[in-house]
Structure 1
Amino acid sequence: MTEEECADWYRQRGTHVICHRDRYWKETVRGFYQPLHWLARLSAQQANSPTPLSWGFQTTLSEVDATAANASMPIHWLPNLENYDLHSLTSNRRNHLRKCYKRVNIVHLDKPTLLQQQGYEVFMSALKRTAYRQIPSKKDYLKGLADYSTPERRLILAGVNGEQLLGYITGYAVNSIAYIDEVVIATEALSTDIGTGLLFEFAQVCRRSGLIRELVNGLHSREDENLCVFKEGMGFQVKHIPAKVQINPIVEQFIQWRYPHKYYRLVGCQLRRRSPS
């Protein structure tokens, strides 16, 4: 998608989007804004609050204006995507990938039928294991799948064994940058190493497209050592993108005290004291 198409897509999904100085921002939590295209790398002139009603914002900066950075955005990033292959993985991950191919068939879903039939049970199994968010009702889950019927905007790969859904991965791309959105795996399917297969094949689709130059697999979750080791074994590196961050001082102190890992993902390597300008 173009950035404008991505903005329309987010609006259709119910996200509050603001256009400010020709760039599109989303309200991630009430009063806090980020460019909906994470790595849009704004200019210094564009990198300011999109609305006077916000208590904070975070954005990456262009290389030209990197000196204006007061923080960084820590991401899991895949270097050299155009040459990504089996040899980009550690030997351990290559073995896991071979094991996955023997037990799991990875397919492209261009319609949500399989997820409508079996997705909620897989999603529920994954959330009970990871507890990274509250489990939605089945009605809300199925309602969210309405967005999955636009394959030109979202890539969905599923791992199946026969007719049984074991897990799936979703993502999207804006201009030349692809973002992995969700990786959902049933607990009982972990032994198949489906996670390795889904991530590898997603990257291969991006590589073969000829349009994607960068692949981002979420923010750096430093508190989850196993996840970091897995991503590193898959060839993803932790990269700090120059960023500008502004947060209300009282809110900032609370986040830093109560949620230190979330605070790290907001400021990364804090370069210097942030000014309110």
Structure 2
Amino acid sequence: MSINAEVERRSYDHVDDEQPREKAALGISFSGQNIFFAEVRLEASFMVRKFGTIATNMKFGTGIEGVEKNIRDLYSYVNGCIEDNAIKAKKLNLSMNSQLIALHRILIEPGETDAEFENQVKWEIGQQILDDVDQFIVNTHELHSSGSPLTPVLVVGVRRRFIDTLNAVLEKSKINLACVDMDILCAHAAYEMNYHRGEGLTALVEAKPGVAVILLCNGYDIEHVYQMTSSAKSVPARLGALINQHLDNAANVYKEGASIDRVILCNAMAAAVLPHIEQRF
């Protein structure tokens, strides 16, 4: 999915199906003091043409003020990446740290008008953030329904000024910001492409310093979303204990007495946290 508009009603199927069929796109993400990049080109099919890591002297923190301060210094790194690697793409896809995005799954009554839909979405996302909801660009995507009369909708909000600042920087690099994704949803796309569907519940868990995000999936369908934060200095054992606790909660929210058949960990602390995930999952 991509964040590219105000509150908007759309259908969510697969992240790749929603992207414009450009001949080339440059994807980047920030982590620690590194920028990760990959150029994807469309020939007979999508293929990764170049990829790599750029070490910087910046720290990509989680606070929006720190991100804005850093983003103004990114021009030299982004431009250098394009020139040094002969990147031909004119479109940039950014995968954002999940800590900078509000993610929520809600249920919508059938037959809601656009005005009623927008009011509910703004109210729901407002319960997840401390700031004014108008400071966020919000996108919605209808999820696959499991037979319920209510329509499940994934709601994503990203701070408006982050995107405005990034666009201003990219204008100098002669590359346009095509879409914004988030790390956990990119991981969900990789899960769809690389793992069999499975018969029971799968928990896709993003584990990184200071944050964990759980997507509870029935097959590939997202049934529950949970974001939790902890100290950035939390040791793997502490983060693993929090994840164990919230996996049980997520399963019970989905259906009382439900159990999780497998857990897939991703991101920076996945390997360190894995030994602390209880074997019953």
Establish whether TM, by shorter chain, passes 0.5.
Answer: no
Larger helix share, 1 or 2 = 1
What is the TM-score normalised by the length of structure 1? 0.27
What is the TM-score normalised by the length of structure 2? 0.27
Higher relative contact order (CA 8 A, sep 6+): 1
Larger strand share, 1 or 2 = 2
